[in-house]
Structure 1
Amino acid sequence: MATIYDYQLNELDGSVLDLDKLRGKVLLIVNTASKCGLAGQLNDLEALYEKYHAKGLVVIGLPSNQFKNELATDSQTANYCQLHYGVTFPMTQRVAVNGPETTPVLKYLKALSGHGAIKWNYTKFLINRDGELVHRYAPITSPKKIDQEIDKLLSES
């Protein structure tokens, strides 16, 4: 059976993000969109990343235009997220979150969560240090509300 560590993503700069190299980390995987009304969550995601990265948290943003809220190119997305939100956590090239072209890691996480299609931008998947899905959070769930759960997971050995 597949694990989260069997997947790779392409970062905005074209480099490969091999999830196998993130074993032992707590992961927060989020489908993002620069022009979405929820894009302010990028500030909160960056704050979590800055607060907990040294302790083992990796936030990964997966931009998608399936809801028509993303910029035209990956370079525009990268520039926008850095300029407007100070994003330093890894961001991938745009992905499909639903349908036949769904990126494999999201297909895997959706199946594990049992909640089906992603209904909007900023759906969040929290994965513990053992690579297990802990929770799928709704788009409107503020990253601030996940802070305590992340802290707890990072405290577990």
Structure 2
Amino acid sequence: MFSRPIVRCLILLCFAVSASQTALASCAPWLKHDLKQLHSGKPLDVCAVTAGKPLLLVNTASRCGFTGQFEGLEELHQTYKDQGLIIIGFPSNSFNQAAANEEEAAKVCFFNFGVTFLMTQTMQVTGSNAHPIFQHLIAAEGEPSWNFNKYLVDKDGQVIDRFRQWTSPTSRAISKAIEAQL
């Protein structure tokens, strides 16, 4: 026979496992990918990180006239992270403006701009070789026309909108759209 504290712990453990399974079950199928974080050996289980949360997914580059948008994206991250928004940057050389290697890209993101939101390994975001995440985004809202296209996704994995490179991450349009998802 188990004592009351042990029974209580077992119940709490079962509840935690059930909640974890529910979170995984609520992940949109197109987000079920394991990626590598930028210039890191750390894995990124996109499904586990994003399940049940609104997202802003951005194709980035380190040698682009829009690279300064990292500052605005970090500002969004700091403003909305405690309310559940997840921002993920996807470095890409689809427009021939990526850093020469991941170490250089990481320096641009983390050192030059102080990025603390998630950044993935470098990947293709356009054309037939686009990563499956971007294939889904393209089907829903169109292919990135350049670096720093920002795709807003609701907590259920539905792509809500795409903001092109010309739209600043700190624009009222983006803030209003994010706030509607929180």
Q: Give yes or no for TM over 0.5.
A: yes
Which range moves more in the overlay, 63-72 or 9-18?
Answer: 9-18
Bigger fraction of residues in helix: 2
1:95 is aligned to 2:123: yes
**Cα separation, 1, equivalents of 2:169 and 2:34:** 24
Structure 2 unaligned regions, length at least 5:
1-27
TM-score for the superposition, normalised by structure 1: 0.90
**Aligned residue for 2:41?**
14
Choose from 137, 159, 167 the match for 1:133. 159
Shift of 1:6: 2.3
Aligned residues: 151
Question: 1:12-91, aligned counterparts within 5 Å?
Answer: 12=38, 13-21=40-48, 22-91=50-119
What TM-score does the superposition give when structure 2 sets the normalisation length?
A: 0.78
What CA RMSD, in Å, does the superposition of the two structures yield over aligned residues?
A: 1.4
Q: Tell me the distance in 1 between the aligned counterparts of 2:127 and 2:139.
A: 13
CA deviation vs aligned residue, 1:1-58 (integer Å, no higher than 9, x gap): x733323332111322222212111110000011100011100000000111111011
Q: How many angstroms apart in 1 are the aligned matches of 2:132 and 2:106?
A: 22
Higher relative contact order (CA 8 A, sep 6+): 1
Gaps of 5+ in 1: none
Q: CA deviation at 1:99?
A: 2.3
Q: Tell me the alpha carbon deviations over residues 69-99 of structure 1, each in whole angstroms, 9 at most, x when there is no partner.
A: 1111111111121111110111111111112
Which amino acid letter does the alignment assign opposite residue 77 of structure 1? Answer: A
For residue 30 of structure 2, what is the aligned residue in structure 1?
A: 4
2-structure distance, mates of 1:5, 1:107: 11
Shift of residue 105 of structure 1? Answer: 0.4
Match of residue 118, structure 1, among 144, 149, 152: 144
Distance in 2 of aligned mates of 1:70 and 1:20: 26
Indicate how the Cα distance of structure 1 residues 14 and 105 shifts in structure 2: closer, same or farther if over 3 A, else same.
farther
SS at match of 2:59: strand
Q: Do the aligned partners of 1:4 and 1:19 also contact (CA within 8 Å) in 2?
A: no
Distance 2:34 2:139 in 1: 17
State percent identity of aligned pairs: 39
Q: Which runs of 4+ in 1 moved over 6 A?
A: none
